[in-house]
Amino acid sequence: MAASRVSQARLKRLFSDRNLRTARLVSGMVLMTFVTMHLLNHALLLISLPAAETMRPWFLMIWRNPLGTVALYGSVATHFALALLSLYRKRGLVMPMREIFQIVLGFAIPLLIAEHVIGTRVFHALTGVEDSYRYVLRTLWVASPVGGVRQSVATVVIWVHGCLGLYFWLRFRHWYPQVAPWLLIVAVLVPVLALLGFVEGGRTVASIGATPPPIDAPVIAHDRQIKEMLIRSVYLGFGGLLAGVFALRALRAYRERRNLIEVRYSDGHVVRVAKGYSVLEASRIGGIPHYAVCGGKGRCSTCRIKVSEGLDALPSPNSLERTTLKRLGADPDVRLACQLRPTGNVSVTPLLVPDRDRLLLPGQPVIPGREREVAVLFCDIRNFTGLADHRLPFDIVFLLNRYFAMVGKAVEQAGGRMDKFIGDGAMALFGVDTTNFEACRQALVAASAIIRDLDQLNEELAGEINAPLRVAVGIHAGPAIVGAMGYRDVMSVTAVGDTVNVASRLELAAKEFNATVVVSETVVQLSGFDLSGFDIRDIDIRGRAQPLNVRVVPQGAALPIAAQKKAADAA
Ligand code: FES
Protein backbone atom coordinates (compact mmCIF):
# COMPACT_ATOMS: atom_id res chain seq x y z
CA MET A 1 0.00 0.00 0.00
CA ALA A 2 2.74 2.40 1.08
CA ALA A 3 4.85 1.32 -1.89
CA SER A 4 2.01 2.02 -4.29
CA ARG A 5 1.54 5.48 -2.74
CA VAL A 6 5.26 6.19 -3.25
CA SER A 7 5.15 5.09 -6.88
CA GLN A 8 2.00 7.15 -7.42
CA ALA A 9 3.75 10.20 -6.00
CA ARG A 10 6.73 9.52 -8.27
CA LEU A 11 4.48 9.23 -11.29
CA LYS A 12 2.76 12.46 -10.33
CA ARG A 13 6.12 14.19 -10.06
CA LEU A 14 7.24 12.74 -13.38
CA PHE A 15 4.10 13.97 -15.12
CA SER A 16 3.99 17.31 -13.34
CA ASP A 17 2.93 20.33 -15.39
CA ARG A 18 6.47 21.65 -15.32
CA ASN A 19 7.94 18.40 -16.69
CA LEU A 20 5.27 18.13 -19.35
CA ARG A 21 5.93 21.69 -20.44
CA THR A 22 9.65 21.01 -20.63
CA ALA A 23 8.99 17.87 -22.68
CA ARG A 24 6.77 19.84 -25.06
CA LEU A 25 9.39 22.56 -25.40
CA VAL A 26 12.31 20.19 -25.97
CA SER A 27 10.41 18.04 -28.47
CA GLY A 28 9.18 21.17 -30.24
CA MET A 29 12.71 22.52 -30.48
CA VAL A 30 14.01 19.25 -31.95
CA LEU A 31 11.20 19.26 -34.53
CA MET A 32 11.77 22.92 -35.37
CA THR A 33 15.50 22.24 -35.87
CA PHE A 34 14.68 19.34 -38.18
CA VAL A 35 12.15 21.39 -40.16
CA THR A 36 14.50 24.38 -40.48
CA MET A 37 17.34 22.20 -41.78
CA HIS A 38 14.96 20.39 -44.12
CA LEU A 39 13.64 23.66 -45.55
CA LEU A 40 17.11 25.14 -45.92
CA ASN A 41 18.08 22.04 -47.89
CA HIS A 42 15.06 22.67 -50.16
CA ALA A 43 16.17 26.28 -50.57
CA LEU A 44 19.38 25.01 -52.20
CA LEU A 45 17.23 23.91 -55.14
CA LEU A 46 17.24 27.59 -56.04
CA ILE A 47 20.94 27.17 -56.80
CA SER A 48 20.64 23.82 -58.56
CA LEU A 49 19.36 20.28 -58.17
CA PRO A 50 22.89 18.91 -57.63
CA ALA A 51 23.49 21.51 -54.89
CA ALA A 52 20.46 20.27 -52.95
CA GLU A 53 21.41 16.61 -53.61
CA THR A 54 24.94 17.30 -52.34
CA MET A 55 23.68 18.70 -49.07
CA ARG A 56 21.11 15.93 -48.56
CA PRO A 57 23.54 13.23 -47.33
CA TRP A 58 24.72 15.63 -44.60
CA PHE A 59 21.13 16.21 -43.56
CA LEU A 60 20.50 12.45 -43.56
CA MET A 61 23.67 11.81 -41.64
CA ILE A 62 22.21 13.81 -38.74
CA TRP A 63 18.62 12.64 -38.87
CA ARG A 64 18.89 9.07 -40.14
CA ASN A 65 21.52 7.80 -37.76
CA PRO A 66 20.09 5.86 -34.81
CA LEU A 67 20.45 8.79 -32.42
CA GLY A 68 18.89 11.30 -34.80
CA THR A 69 16.10 8.86 -35.61
CA VAL A 70 15.25 8.38 -31.94
CA ALA A 71 15.42 12.15 -31.32
CA LEU A 72 13.21 12.94 -34.31
CA TYR A 73 10.56 10.27 -33.98
CA GLY A 74 10.69 10.41 -30.18
CA SER A 75 9.94 14.13 -30.46
CA VAL A 76 7.12 13.54 -32.93
CA ALA A 77 5.54 10.97 -30.59
CA THR A 78 6.08 13.13 -27.48
CA HIS A 79 4.73 16.29 -29.07
CA PHE A 80 1.70 14.52 -30.46
CA ALA A 81 0.98 12.66 -27.22
CA LEU A 82 1.25 15.91 -25.26
CA ALA A 83 -1.13 17.62 -27.69
CA LEU A 84 -3.68 14.84 -27.13
CA LEU A 85 -3.16 15.01 -23.39
CA SER A 86 -3.63 18.77 -23.38
CA LEU A 87 -6.79 18.40 -25.46
CA TYR A 88 -8.09 15.90 -22.94
CA ARG A 89 -7.17 18.04 -19.95
CA LYS A 90 -8.78 21.21 -21.25
CA ARG A 91 -12.10 21.23 -19.46
CA GLY A 92 -13.84 23.79 -21.62
CA LEU A 93 -13.11 24.33 -25.28
CA VAL A 94 -13.83 28.05 -25.02
CA MET A 95 -10.47 29.66 -25.55
CA PRO A 96 -8.84 32.62 -27.31
CA MET A 97 -8.70 32.45 -31.11
CA ARG A 98 -4.91 32.27 -31.17
CA GLU A 99 -5.00 29.08 -29.09
CA ILE A 100 -7.65 27.52 -31.30
CA PHE A 101 -5.61 28.44 -34.37
CA GLN A 102 -2.47 26.87 -32.92
CA ILE A 103 -4.29 23.65 -31.97
CA VAL A 104 -5.99 23.31 -35.36
CA LEU A 105 -2.69 23.86 -37.17
CA GLY A 106 -1.00 21.28 -34.96
CA PHE A 107 -3.60 18.58 -35.56
CA ALA A 108 -3.65 19.28 -39.31
CA ILE A 109 0.04 18.42 -39.62
CA PRO A 110 -0.16 14.59 -39.39
CA LEU A 111 -2.91 14.54 -42.01
CA LEU A 112 -0.91 16.75 -44.35
CA ILE A 113 2.43 14.99 -44.13
CA ALA A 114 1.52 11.32 -43.61
CA GLU A 115 1.78 10.49 -47.30
CA HIS A 116 5.06 12.33 -47.75
CA VAL A 117 6.72 10.71 -44.72
CA ILE A 118 5.54 7.23 -45.71
CA GLY A 119 6.55 7.79 -49.32
CA THR A 120 10.08 8.85 -48.35
CA ARG A 121 11.49 7.81 -45.00
CA VAL A 122 9.25 4.82 -44.30
CA PHE A 123 9.48 3.47 -47.81
CA HIS A 124 13.20 3.97 -47.86
CA ALA A 125 13.41 1.80 -44.73
CA LEU A 126 11.04 -0.85 -46.14
CA THR A 127 12.21 -1.13 -49.73
CA GLY A 128 15.53 0.66 -49.89
CA VAL A 129 14.17 3.12 -52.45
CA GLU A 130 16.44 6.17 -52.71
CA ASP A 131 14.18 9.10 -51.82
CA SER A 132 16.43 11.65 -53.49
CA TYR A 133 15.23 15.11 -54.52
CA ARG A 134 14.94 13.85 -58.07
CA TYR A 135 12.65 11.02 -56.90
CA VAL A 136 10.52 13.11 -54.55
CA LEU A 137 10.15 16.01 -56.99
CA ARG A 138 9.05 13.63 -59.74
CA THR A 139 6.43 12.28 -57.35
CA LEU A 140 5.19 15.63 -56.10
CA TRP A 141 5.67 17.89 -59.10
CA VAL A 142 5.39 15.70 -62.19
CA ALA A 143 3.18 12.77 -61.19
CA SER A 144 0.92 14.24 -58.54
CA PRO A 145 0.64 18.04 -58.52
CA VAL A 146 -2.08 17.68 -55.86
CA GLY A 147 0.54 16.08 -53.64
CA GLY A 148 2.84 19.02 -54.40
CA VAL A 149 0.22 21.54 -53.39
CA ARG A 150 -0.55 19.57 -50.23
CA GLN A 151 3.14 19.45 -49.38
CA SER A 152 3.44 23.22 -49.87
CA VAL A 153 0.44 23.81 -47.60
CA ALA A 154 2.00 21.41 -45.08
CA THR A 155 5.24 23.41 -45.16
CA VAL A 156 3.40 26.63 -44.34
CA VAL A 157 1.23 24.99 -41.64
CA ILE A 158 4.19 23.32 -39.91
CA TRP A 159 6.26 26.47 -40.05
CA VAL A 160 3.52 28.76 -38.74
CA HIS A 161 2.71 26.27 -35.94
CA GLY A 162 6.38 26.11 -34.95
CA CYS A 163 6.88 29.88 -35.11
CA LEU A 164 3.75 30.52 -33.04
CA GLY A 165 4.99 28.03 -30.44
CA LEU A 166 8.33 29.83 -30.30
CA TYR A 167 6.58 33.19 -30.09
CA PHE A 168 4.38 32.09 -27.16
CA TRP A 169 7.47 30.80 -25.41
CA LEU A 170 9.73 33.80 -25.98
CA ARG A 171 7.43 36.80 -26.09
CA PHE A 172 7.80 37.74 -22.42
CA ARG A 173 11.59 37.52 -22.32
CA HIS A 174 13.02 40.98 -21.73
CA TRP A 175 15.34 40.65 -24.73
CA TYR A 176 12.59 39.50 -27.09
CA PRO A 177 11.76 42.96 -28.53
CA GLN A 178 15.39 43.32 -29.58
CA VAL A 179 15.59 40.02 -31.46
CA ALA A 180 12.00 40.02 -32.76
CA PRO A 181 12.77 41.84 -36.06
CA TRP A 182 15.55 39.33 -36.83
CA LEU A 183 13.38 36.38 -35.94
CA LEU A 184 10.65 37.76 -38.20
CA ILE A 185 13.10 37.98 -41.10
CA VAL A 186 14.11 34.33 -40.55
CA ALA A 187 10.48 33.29 -40.11
CA VAL A 188 9.56 34.75 -43.49
CA LEU A 189 12.72 33.94 -45.44
CA VAL A 190 13.09 30.24 -44.62
CA PRO A 191 9.72 28.99 -45.90
CA VAL A 192 9.67 31.41 -48.84
CA LEU A 193 13.10 30.25 -50.02
CA ALA A 194 12.13 26.60 -49.45
CA LEU A 195 8.92 26.94 -51.48
CA LEU A 196 10.71 28.81 -54.26
CA GLY A 197 13.33 26.05 -54.21
CA PHE A 198 10.58 23.43 -54.48
CA VAL A 199 9.10 25.19 -57.53
CA GLU A 200 12.48 25.60 -59.16
CA GLY A 201 13.44 21.99 -58.42
CA GLY A 202 10.11 20.72 -59.74
CA ARG A 203 10.55 22.62 -62.99
CA THR A 204 14.10 21.32 -63.38
CA VAL A 205 13.06 17.72 -62.82
CA ALA A 206 10.12 18.08 -65.19
CA SER A 207 12.44 19.35 -67.90
CA ILE A 208 15.01 16.57 -67.56
CA GLY A 209 14.50 14.14 -70.43
CA ALA A 210 11.31 13.67 -72.43
CA THR A 211 10.63 10.28 -70.91
CA PRO A 212 11.24 10.33 -67.20
CA PRO A 213 11.37 6.95 -65.55
CA PRO A 214 8.09 5.76 -64.11
CA ILE A 215 7.24 7.45 -60.85
CA ASP A 216 7.46 4.45 -58.60
CA ALA A 217 9.87 2.58 -60.76
CA PRO A 218 11.61 0.76 -57.92
CA VAL A 219 8.38 0.06 -56.19
CA ILE A 220 6.53 -3.04 -57.21
CA ALA A 221 2.74 -3.19 -57.05
CA HIS A 222 2.88 -5.04 -53.76
CA ASP A 223 4.91 -2.27 -52.25
CA ARG A 224 2.46 0.30 -53.53
CA GLN A 225 -0.31 -1.57 -51.75
CA ILE A 226 1.71 -1.51 -48.56
CA LYS A 227 2.19 2.21 -49.01
CA GLU A 228 -1.51 2.82 -49.38
CA MET A 229 -2.29 0.56 -46.47
CA LEU A 230 0.21 2.44 -44.27
CA ILE A 231 -1.28 5.82 -45.23
CA ARG A 232 -4.78 4.51 -44.46
CA SER A 233 -3.55 3.18 -41.12
CA VAL A 234 -2.08 6.54 -40.19
CA TYR A 235 -5.33 8.36 -41.04
CA LEU A 236 -7.38 5.78 -39.18
CA GLY A 237 -5.05 5.72 -36.19
CA PHE A 238 -5.04 9.52 -36.05
CA GLY A 239 -8.82 9.70 -36.32
CA GLY A 240 -9.18 6.93 -33.72
CA LEU A 241 -6.92 8.69 -31.24
CA LEU A 242 -8.76 11.99 -31.67
CA ALA A 243 -12.12 10.27 -31.35
CA GLY A 244 -10.80 8.45 -28.27
CA VAL A 245 -9.83 11.73 -26.64
CA PHE A 246 -13.25 13.22 -27.31
CA ALA A 247 -14.94 10.02 -26.07
CA LEU A 248 -12.93 10.22 -22.84
CA ARG A 249 -13.86 13.88 -22.49
CA ALA A 250 -17.52 13.03 -22.94
CA LEU A 251 -17.27 10.23 -20.38
CA ARG A 252 -15.60 12.54 -17.91
CA ALA A 253 -18.19 15.25 -18.50
CA TYR A 254 -20.96 12.68 -17.94
CA ARG A 255 -19.43 11.53 -14.66
CA GLU A 256 -18.73 15.04 -13.51
CA ARG A 257 -22.27 16.21 -14.06
CA ARG A 258 -23.11 14.81 -10.66
CA ASN A 259 -20.21 16.60 -9.09
CA LEU A 260 -20.70 20.27 -9.88
CA ILE A 261 -19.28 23.13 -7.88
CA GLU A 262 -20.04 26.84 -7.98
CA VAL A 263 -17.56 29.58 -8.75
CA ARG A 264 -19.11 32.80 -7.51
CA TYR A 265 -17.78 36.11 -8.75
CA SER A 266 -17.84 39.37 -6.83
CA ASP A 267 -20.10 40.98 -9.44
CA GLY A 268 -22.81 38.40 -8.71
CA HIS A 269 -22.13 35.95 -11.57
CA VAL A 270 -22.21 32.29 -10.63
CA VAL A 271 -20.71 29.65 -12.92
CA ARG A 272 -21.40 25.96 -12.25
CA VAL A 273 -18.60 23.70 -13.43
CA ALA A 274 -17.43 20.20 -12.65
CA LYS A 275 -14.71 19.60 -10.12
CA GLY A 276 -11.39 19.73 -11.90
CA TYR A 277 -12.10 22.83 -13.98
CA SER A 278 -9.76 25.72 -13.32
CA VAL A 279 -11.25 29.06 -12.27
CA LEU A 280 -9.99 30.52 -15.56
CA GLU A 281 -11.91 27.84 -17.48
CA ALA A 282 -14.98 28.63 -15.39
CA SER A 283 -14.62 32.31 -16.31
CA ARG A 284 -14.36 31.46 -19.99
CA ILE A 285 -17.37 29.16 -19.84
CA GLY A 286 -19.35 31.85 -18.02
CA GLY A 287 -18.24 34.57 -20.46
CA ILE A 288 -16.65 36.51 -17.62
CA PRO A 289 -13.80 38.78 -18.77
CA HIS A 290 -10.60 37.42 -17.29
CA TYR A 291 -7.12 38.61 -18.10
CA ALA A 292 -4.75 35.72 -19.01
CA VAL A 293 -1.81 37.08 -20.91
CA CYS A 294 0.32 33.90 -20.93
CA GLY A 295 -2.65 31.81 -22.01
CA GLY A 296 -3.02 29.92 -18.75
CA LYS A 297 0.59 28.77 -18.42
CA GLY A 298 1.01 30.07 -14.88
CA ARG A 299 3.75 32.49 -15.82
CA CYS A 300 2.27 35.98 -16.12
CA SER A 301 0.12 36.18 -12.96
CA THR A 302 -2.42 38.38 -14.77
CA CYS A 303 -5.22 35.89 -14.07
CA ARG A 304 -4.79 36.22 -10.33
CA ILE A 305 -7.85 36.21 -8.13
CA LYS A 306 -8.65 36.97 -4.54
CA VAL A 307 -10.51 34.11 -2.86
CA SER A 308 -13.03 35.42 -0.38
CA GLU A 309 -14.85 32.14 0.46
CA GLY A 310 -13.78 28.52 0.36
CA LEU A 311 -10.07 29.25 0.72
CA ASP A 312 -9.41 26.57 3.34
CA ALA A 313 -10.82 23.78 1.20
CA LEU A 314 -8.73 24.63 -1.84
CA PRO A 315 -5.93 22.37 -3.03
CA SER A 316 -2.54 23.90 -2.29
CA PRO A 317 -0.74 25.64 -5.16
CA ASN A 318 1.39 23.50 -7.47
CA SER A 319 5.06 24.37 -7.77
CA LEU A 320 4.51 26.61 -10.78
CA GLU A 321 1.78 28.61 -9.07
CA ARG A 322 3.84 28.80 -5.88
CA THR A 323 6.82 30.23 -7.76
CA THR A 324 4.77 32.87 -9.57
CA LEU A 325 2.87 33.91 -6.44
CA LYS A 326 6.11 34.13 -4.50
CA ARG A 327 7.62 36.43 -7.13
CA LEU A 328 4.53 38.55 -6.83
CA GLY A 329 4.71 38.67 -3.02
CA ALA A 330 1.00 37.79 -3.10
CA ASP A 331 -1.19 37.49 -0.01
CA PRO A 332 -2.24 33.97 1.01
CA ASP A 333 -5.77 34.52 -0.34
CA VAL A 334 -4.49 35.33 -3.82
CA ARG A 335 -4.31 32.43 -6.30
CA LEU A 336 -3.75 31.99 -10.03
CA ALA A 337 -7.08 31.31 -11.74
CA CYS A 338 -5.42 29.24 -14.47
CA GLN A 339 -3.81 26.86 -11.99
CA LEU A 340 -6.43 26.69 -9.26
CA ARG A 341 -8.88 23.80 -9.67
CA PRO A 342 -11.32 24.13 -6.77
CA THR A 343 -12.79 21.03 -5.23
CA GLY A 344 -15.67 22.90 -3.56
CA ASN A 345 -17.63 26.12 -3.94
CA VAL A 346 -15.52 29.27 -4.02
CA SER A 347 -16.10 33.00 -4.18
CA VAL A 348 -13.50 34.90 -6.13
CA THR A 349 -12.64 38.36 -7.43
CA PRO A 350 -10.42 38.62 -10.51
CA LEU A 351 -7.84 41.23 -9.65
CA LEU A 352 -7.09 42.39 -13.20
CA VAL A 353 -10.06 42.70 -15.52
CA PRO A 354 -9.26 45.04 -18.41
CA ASP A 355 -12.10 44.12 -20.75
CA ARG A 356 -14.91 44.67 -18.31
CA ASP A 357 -14.03 48.33 -17.99
CA ARG A 358 -13.13 48.61 -21.68
CA LEU A 359 -9.65 49.76 -20.82
CA LEU A 360 -8.54 48.64 -24.24
CA LEU A 361 -9.92 49.82 -27.54
CA PRO A 362 -11.05 47.04 -29.87
CA GLY A 363 -7.98 45.54 -31.50
CA GLN A 364 -5.60 47.39 -29.20
CA PRO A 365 -2.72 45.08 -28.33
CA VAL A 366 -2.15 43.97 -24.76
CA ILE A 367 1.41 44.85 -23.73
CA PRO A 368 1.96 43.13 -20.44
CA GLY A 369 4.16 44.72 -17.81
CA ARG A 370 7.65 43.38 -17.55
CA GLU A 371 10.54 44.31 -15.36
CA ARG A 372 13.35 45.96 -17.25
CA GLU A 373 16.52 47.84 -16.51
CA VAL A 374 15.90 51.38 -17.74
CA ALA A 375 17.33 54.86 -17.36
CA VAL A 376 14.84 57.59 -16.55
CA LEU A 377 15.33 61.31 -17.17
CA PHE A 378 13.17 64.06 -15.68
CA CYS A 379 13.51 67.61 -16.97
CA ASP A 380 11.66 70.59 -15.55
CA ILE A 381 11.74 74.34 -16.25
CA ARG A 382 12.95 76.20 -13.19
CA ASN A 383 10.82 78.98 -11.82
CA PHE A 384 8.18 78.45 -14.47
CA THR A 385 5.43 79.98 -12.33
CA GLY A 386 7.28 83.31 -12.21
CA LEU A 387 7.83 83.07 -15.94
CA ALA A 388 4.15 82.46 -16.64
CA ASP A 389 2.92 85.36 -14.54
CA HIS A 390 1.48 88.24 -16.56
CA ARG A 391 1.77 86.33 -19.86
CA LEU A 392 -1.02 85.61 -22.26
CA PRO A 393 -2.13 81.95 -22.37
CA PHE A 394 -1.17 81.81 -26.05
CA ASP A 395 2.35 82.93 -25.15
CA ILE A 396 2.70 80.28 -22.46
CA VAL A 397 1.58 77.52 -24.78
CA PHE A 398 3.97 78.75 -27.47
CA LEU A 399 6.84 78.85 -24.99
CA LEU A 400 6.12 75.44 -23.56
CA ASN A 401 5.79 73.87 -26.99
CA ARG A 402 9.18 75.24 -28.05
CA TYR A 403 10.71 73.83 -24.88
CA PHE A 404 8.96 70.45 -25.23
CA ALA A 405 10.07 70.20 -28.86
CA MET A 406 13.65 70.87 -27.82
CA VAL A 407 13.59 68.22 -25.07
CA GLY A 408 11.73 65.69 -27.25
CA LYS A 409 14.22 66.09 -30.08
CA ALA A 410 17.21 65.70 -27.75
CA VAL A 411 15.72 62.54 -26.23
CA GLU A 412 14.74 60.94 -29.53
CA GLN A 413 18.03 61.75 -31.22
CA ALA A 414 19.84 60.14 -28.31
CA GLY A 415 17.77 56.95 -28.81
CA GLY A 416 15.29 57.33 -25.93
CA ARG A 417 11.55 57.80 -25.98
CA MET A 418 9.47 60.60 -24.54
CA ASP A 419 7.24 59.16 -21.89
CA LYS A 420 5.10 62.11 -20.91
CA PHE A 421 4.88 65.87 -20.49
CA ILE A 422 3.31 67.02 -17.27
CA GLY A 423 2.87 70.76 -16.79
CA ASP A 424 6.29 72.20 -17.54
CA GLY A 425 8.06 68.91 -16.85
CA ALA A 426 9.01 66.03 -19.09
CA MET A 427 9.87 62.39 -18.42
CA ALA A 428 11.91 60.29 -20.83
CA LEU A 429 12.77 56.59 -20.87
CA PHE A 430 15.91 54.94 -22.15
CA GLY A 431 16.57 51.22 -22.43
CA VAL A 432 13.12 49.92 -23.28
CA ASP A 433 14.63 48.23 -26.34
CA THR A 434 18.31 48.29 -25.52
CA THR A 435 20.93 47.40 -22.94
CA ASN A 436 21.48 49.09 -19.61
CA PHE A 437 24.84 50.39 -20.78
CA GLU A 438 23.29 51.98 -23.88
CA ALA A 439 20.37 53.33 -21.83
CA CYS A 440 22.67 55.22 -19.44
CA ARG A 441 24.79 56.58 -22.27
CA GLN A 442 21.71 57.70 -24.17
CA ALA A 443 20.28 59.47 -21.11
CA LEU A 444 23.51 61.42 -20.58
CA VAL A 445 23.79 62.25 -24.29
CA ALA A 446 20.19 63.56 -24.16
CA ALA A 447 20.93 65.66 -21.05
CA SER A 448 23.98 67.14 -22.69
CA ALA A 449 21.94 67.97 -25.83
CA ILE A 450 19.23 69.59 -23.70
CA ILE A 451 21.80 71.88 -22.04
CA ARG A 452 23.33 72.75 -25.42
CA ASP A 453 20.01 73.38 -27.19
CA LEU A 454 18.62 75.39 -24.27
CA ASP A 455 21.28 78.03 -24.88
CA GLN A 456 20.20 78.25 -28.50
CA LEU A 457 16.52 78.45 -27.52
CA ASN A 458 17.29 81.21 -25.07
CA GLU A 459 19.05 83.16 -27.80
CA GLU A 460 16.03 82.80 -30.07
CA LEU A 461 13.62 83.84 -27.33
CA ALA A 462 15.80 86.64 -25.99
CA GLY A 463 13.29 89.31 -27.02
CA GLU A 464 10.32 87.34 -25.69
CA ILE A 465 11.27 86.49 -22.14
CA ASN A 466 12.72 88.56 -19.31
CA ALA A 467 15.20 85.97 -18.14
CA PRO A 468 16.70 82.96 -19.88
CA LEU A 469 14.96 79.61 -19.39
CA ARG A 470 16.74 77.31 -16.99
CA VAL A 471 16.11 73.61 -16.50
CA ALA A 472 16.69 71.04 -13.80
CA VAL A 473 17.43 67.49 -14.93
CA GLY A 474 17.47 64.33 -12.81
CA ILE A 475 18.68 60.95 -14.12
CA HIS A 476 18.70 57.55 -12.50
CA ALA A 477 18.79 53.95 -13.74
CA GLY A 478 17.58 50.63 -12.37
CA PRO A 479 14.76 48.16 -12.60
CA ALA A 480 11.27 49.43 -13.40
CA ILE A 481 8.00 47.91 -14.50
CA VAL A 482 7.54 48.79 -18.16
CA GLY A 483 4.22 48.23 -19.89
CA ALA A 484 1.29 49.80 -21.69
CA MET A 485 -0.66 51.81 -19.16
CA GLY A 486 -3.52 54.23 -19.47
CA TYR A 487 -7.10 54.22 -20.56
CA ARG A 488 -8.46 53.53 -24.05
CA ASP A 489 -6.71 55.82 -26.54
CA VAL A 490 -4.70 57.52 -23.80
CA MET A 491 -2.53 54.48 -23.46
CA SER A 492 1.21 54.35 -23.88
CA VAL A 493 4.25 52.38 -22.84
CA THR A 494 5.52 53.86 -19.62
CA ALA A 495 7.47 52.86 -16.54
CA VAL A 496 6.69 52.82 -12.85
CA GLY A 497 8.67 51.92 -9.78
CA ASP A 498 11.38 53.07 -7.46
CA THR A 499 13.79 53.99 -10.26
CA VAL A 500 11.26 56.46 -11.68
CA ASN A 501 10.62 57.98 -8.24
CA VAL A 502 14.34 58.39 -7.60
CA ALA A 503 14.90 60.08 -10.98
CA SER A 504 12.09 62.50 -10.16
CA ARG A 505 13.64 63.14 -6.76
CA LEU A 506 17.01 63.89 -8.40
CA GLU A 507 15.35 66.49 -10.61
CA LEU A 508 14.06 68.20 -7.42
CA ALA A 509 17.54 67.91 -5.95
CA ALA A 510 18.92 69.72 -9.02
CA LYS A 511 16.62 72.62 -8.16
CA GLU A 512 17.66 72.55 -4.52
CA PHE A 513 21.36 72.58 -5.46
CA ASN A 514 20.76 75.29 -8.07
CA ALA A 515 22.28 72.81 -10.54
CA THR A 516 21.39 71.88 -14.11
CA VAL A 517 21.79 68.12 -13.76
CA VAL A 518 21.89 65.70 -10.86
CA VAL A 519 22.71 62.22 -12.06
CA SER A 520 23.14 59.13 -9.91
CA GLU A 521 26.60 57.64 -9.81
CA THR A 522 24.99 54.37 -10.94
CA VAL A 523 24.22 55.96 -14.31
CA VAL A 524 27.67 57.49 -14.59
CA GLN A 525 29.41 54.20 -13.79
CA LEU A 526 27.22 52.17 -16.13
CA SER A 527 27.62 54.64 -18.99
CA GLY A 528 31.39 54.61 -18.85
CA PHE A 529 31.47 58.41 -19.36
CA ASP A 530 33.94 60.33 -17.25
CA LEU A 531 32.20 62.94 -15.06
CA SER A 532 34.91 63.02 -12.43
CA GLY A 533 35.21 66.78 -12.90
CA PHE A 534 31.90 67.33 -11.13
CA ASP A 535 31.11 67.32 -7.43
CA ILE A 536 30.02 64.03 -5.96
CA ARG A 537 27.50 64.09 -3.12
CA ASP A 538 25.45 61.75 -1.00
CA ILE A 539 21.79 62.62 -0.85
CA ASP A 540 19.01 61.07 1.17
CA ILE A 541 16.06 59.74 -0.76
CA ARG A 542 12.85 59.11 1.06
CA GLY A 543 12.15 55.39 1.35
CA ARG A 544 15.79 54.35 0.77
CA ALA A 545 17.86 53.09 3.65
CA GLN A 546 21.17 54.23 2.14
CA PRO A 547 22.01 57.70 0.80
CA LEU A 548 22.46 57.87 -2.96
CA ASN A 549 25.74 58.86 -4.58
CA VAL A 550 25.16 61.54 -7.20
CA ARG A 551 27.14 63.85 -9.50
CA VAL A 552 26.06 67.48 -9.58
CA VAL A 553 26.49 69.52 -12.77
CA PRO A 554 26.27 73.20 -11.81
CA GLN A 555 24.41 75.90 -13.71
CA GLY A 556 26.31 77.17 -16.70
CA ALA A 557 28.49 74.05 -17.03
CA ALA A 558 28.30 71.86 -20.09
CA LEU A 559 28.23 68.07 -19.86
CA PRO A 560 31.43 66.85 -21.55
CA ILE A 561 29.61 63.93 -23.18
CA ALA A 562 29.59 64.64 -26.92
CA ALA A 563 33.39 64.57 -27.23
CA GLN A 564 33.69 61.39 -25.15
CA LYS A 565 31.00 59.67 -27.19
CA LYS A 566 32.65 60.73 -30.44
CA ALA A 567 35.99 59.35 -29.26
CA ALA A 568 34.38 56.08 -28.11
CA ASP A 569 32.48 55.70 -31.40
CA ALA A 570 35.65 56.31 -33.39
CA ALA A 571 37.67 53.80 -31.34
S1 FES B 1 -2.88 33.20 -17.31
FE2 FES B 1 -0.83 33.70 -16.97
S3 FES B 1 -0.55 33.00 -14.93
FE4 FES B 1 -2.57 32.48 -15.30
For a substitution probing ligand 1, which of 338, 340, 353 has the most ligand atoms within 8 Å of its CB? 338
The CA–CA distances, whole Å, from 226 to 128, 229, 237 equal 14, 5, 16
* Highest mean pLDDT of the ranges 17-31, 488-502, 537-551: 17-31
Q: Is the pLDDT of residue 488 over 80?
A: no
CA separation for the pair 126, 139 (Å, rounded): 18
> Per-residue pLDDT tens for 176-208?
777 888 999 999 999 999 999 999 998 898 887
**Ligand 1 contacts CB of residue 302 (under 6 A):** yes
Q: What is the mean pLDDT of residues 560-565?
A: 82
- Say what the pLDDT of residue 360 is: 42
**Ligand 1 contacts CB of residue 292 (under 6 A):** yes
CA separation for the pair 265, 271 (Å, rounded): 8
CA of 280 to the centre of ligand 1 (A): 9
> Per-residue pLDDT tens for 384-396?
776 666 666 677 7
**Ligand 1 contacts CB of residue 71 (under 6 A):** no
The DSSP H or E segment spanning 261 is strand 260-265
**Ligand 1 contacts CB of residue 303 (under 6 A):** yes
CA separation for the pair 93, 285 (Å, rounded): 8
**Ligand 1 contacts CB of residue 551 (under 6 A):** no
Q: What angle do CA 241, 23, 10 make, to 5 degrees?
A: 90
Q: Which atom of ligand 1 is nearest to the CA of 338?
A: 4
Q: How many CB atoms lie within 10 A of CB 553?
A: 24
CA of 299 to the centre of ligand 1 (A): 5
Q: Is the pLDDT of residue 216 over 70?
A: no
CA separation for the pair 460, 394 (Å, rounded): 18
> Per-residue pLDDT tens for 105-159?
999 999 999 988 888 888 788 777 788 898 888 888 877 778 889 999 999 999 9
**Ligand 1 contacts CB of residue 305 (under 6 A):** no
Q: Whose CA is nearest to atom 3 of ligand 1?
A: 298
Q: What is the DSSP string of 152-193?
A: HHHHHHHHHHHHHHHHHHHTTSTTHHHHHHHHHHHHHHHHHH
**Long-range own/partner contacts, residues 482-489 (CB < 8 A, 24 or more apart):** 482/369, 482/370, 482/371, 482/372, 482/374, 482/429, 482/432, 483/367, 483/368, 483/369, 483/370, 484/365, 484/366, 484/367, 485/369, 487/359, 488/358, 488/359, 488/360, 488/361, 489/361
**Ligand 1 contacts CB of residue 300 (under 6 A):** yes
Q: What is the mean pLDDT of residues 272-282?
A: 89
> Per-residue pLDDT tens for 446-480?
999 999 999 888 888 777 777 788 999 999 998 88
CA of 185 to the centre of ligand 1 (A): 29
CA of 181 to the centre of ligand 1 (A): 26
Is the model more confident about 83 or about 143? 83
Q: Which atom of ligand 1 is nearest to the CA of 296?
A: 1
Q: How many CB atoms lie within 10 A of CB 546?
A: 8
CA of 324 to the centre of ligand 1 (A): 9
**Ligand 1 contacts CB of residue 279 (under 6 A):** no
Mean pLDDT of the chain: 85
Residue pair 321/297 in contact (Cβ under 8 Å)? The answer is: no
